[in-house]
Amino acid sequence: MSGHSTQENRHIIPARTYIAVGVGLLLLTAVTVGVSFIHLEGWNAIAAVGIASVKALLVALIFMHLLYDKKIFLVIFSTAILFLGIFLALTMFDILSRGEIYPEYEKTIEKNAVMYKKAEPAPAAEPVEDSTSDVQ
């Protein structure tokens, strides 16, 4: 065994490409930091995740060779992202739509945790205190 047939499918990417991608990633970092200082309401989050996704894609396709390698690796990676998406989407769907059909269930919930109660002028004390009583 010598020479060929050792590491399959070897594709050597020029150093220039790697460096270009690296510089691109740094630039995108600058962009995302910059954008975060501009007030865009809900769009800030979308911009942040969008830019991060582009960066991640660059890392996956070039640094991790997904663009050049066997397609099976790309399939595995996409599967992971897809199922992460399913997990996130269906859970958030529940969280965001609670109380939608029967709005009367959407009572105001005491949002702040019991542990912050101490400072406020005593509302009817609840018997849940013990697990948090050591906290000020």
Report which DSSP code applies to 109: P
Q: Could you tell me if 31 and 51 are in contact, meaning their C-beta atoms sit under 8 angstroms apart?
A: yes
Q: What would the two tokens of residue 73 be?
A: 């690796």
118 touches other proteins by CB under 8 A: no
Which of positions 26-45 make contact with other proteins (CB under 8 A)?
26, 29, 32-33, 35-40, 44-45
67 touches other proteins by CB under 8 A: no
How far from 65 is each of 10, 20, 75, 96, 111, CA to CA, in Å?
10, 15, 13, 38, 47
- Residue closer to other proteins by CB (options 33, 121) is 33
Instruction: Tell which one of 67, 68, 71, 90 touches other proteins (CB under 8 A).
Output: 90
Residue 47 Cβ, how far from other proteins at the closest point, in Å? 8
13 touches other proteins by CB under 8 A: yes
Q: What is the largest CA-CA distance in the chain?
A: 81
124 touches other proteins by CB under 8 A: no
Residue 65 Cβ, how far from other proteins at the closest point, in Å? 9
The CA dihedral of 13, 19, 24, 30, to the nearest 10 degrees, is: 150
Instruction: Tell which one of 102, 107, 121, 125 touches other proteins (CB under 8 A).
Output: 102
